[in-house]
Amino acid sequence: MSAFTIARLDLKRLAVRPFAWTLAGVALAILAWWFLLSLDAFMRAQPVLAGDPEGSGYTDLVAVPHLLNVVQLCLLLAPLLTMQALAGERRSQRLALLAASGVSAVQIVLGKFFAVLAFLWLLLLLAATMPVVLAHATTPDAGQFAAALLGCALCIAALTAIGVACSAFASHPALAAAAALAIGLALSFVDSGVRATGLAGTGWLSYLALQTHLTPFLRGLVGSADIVYFLLLTALALVFAIRRVANEKARG
């Protein structure tokens, strides 16, 4: 059984669970409401924006903030979806069955990770269609929107990996969700603390902040350092999860 087989089985399990459909429905409803509010504010500001040829446009004021809203929702959605990935499997004894079947720890962790990531990326793509459908009525910056979409996808991958790692170490799904949410919020708001001290953009705390590396993508700037940050964060979380599952498998 490969990692993709485990991911496919988990996706099928998500598809028949009301919990996943409820989360997706509520999230899309909230995102649609926020999008309509931002679009209404943008339309009301048109008389002012029209007089400033160098001012912000539809992409800066509506499309990109909409993608950022998806990431903010995923701070909550990722822990809720990953809390059952390993902690829930362990409590139901299915993790022991997977280990006994000869599946490696790498395959187990990656399979769980890919399943939740596919679900959240699909949600991101569905949300991205909201500003795209109005592209014919305005002049969006396709390059900036694509860069923002890439940055949000990488950030969601990192949050998913953190959730899987917390699920690997937690003894109960609720503890896994709480730990993943706490870590995600800490990485999100450490930037606010750094800026409050007047040290924004300097020091290792600023480097650890998610916002530090996501903001350039939102501005249309794709930097290798920011891509590496998200990939390293994702890989580090998955390595911790794999080590935990491997040690548990070795103990039997």
Q: Does residue 183 have a pLDDT over 90?
A: yes
0.95 exceeded by pTM: no
Q: Work out the percent of the chain whose per-residue pLDDT is above 90.
A: 53
Give the whole-angstrom CA distance, residue 228 versus residue 213: 10
- Rounded mean pLDDT of the chain? 87
Task: Look up tokens 């080590």; give the residue.
Answer: 243
Q: What is the pLDDT of residues 201-231, one digit of tens each?
A: 556 677 788 888 999 999 999 999 999 999 9
Q: Which two tokens stand for residue 115?
A: 């399943």
Q: Does residue 118 have a pLDDT over 60?
A: yes
Q: What is the pLDDT of residues 131-169, one digit of tens each?
A: 998 877 777 788 999 999 999 999 999 999 999 999 999
Q: What is the pLDDT of residues 54-89, one digit of tens each?
A: 657 888 889 999 999 999 999 999 999 999 888 888
| Residue 13: predicted pLDDT | 87
- What are the CA-CA distances from residue 238 to residues 10, 110, 152, 176 (Å)? 17, 8, 19, 15
Residue in 157, 155, 156, 131 with CA at minimum distance from that of residue 144: 131
- Percent helix, strand and coil across the chain, each rounded to 5? 85, 0, 15
Confidence of residue 249 (pLDDT cuts 50, 70, 90): confident
Give the whole-angstrom CA distance, residue 24 versus residue 28: 6
Give the whole-angstrom CA distance, residue 114 versus residue 11: 9
| Residue 199: predicted pLDDT | 55
Q: Does residue 197 have a pLDDT over 70?
A: no
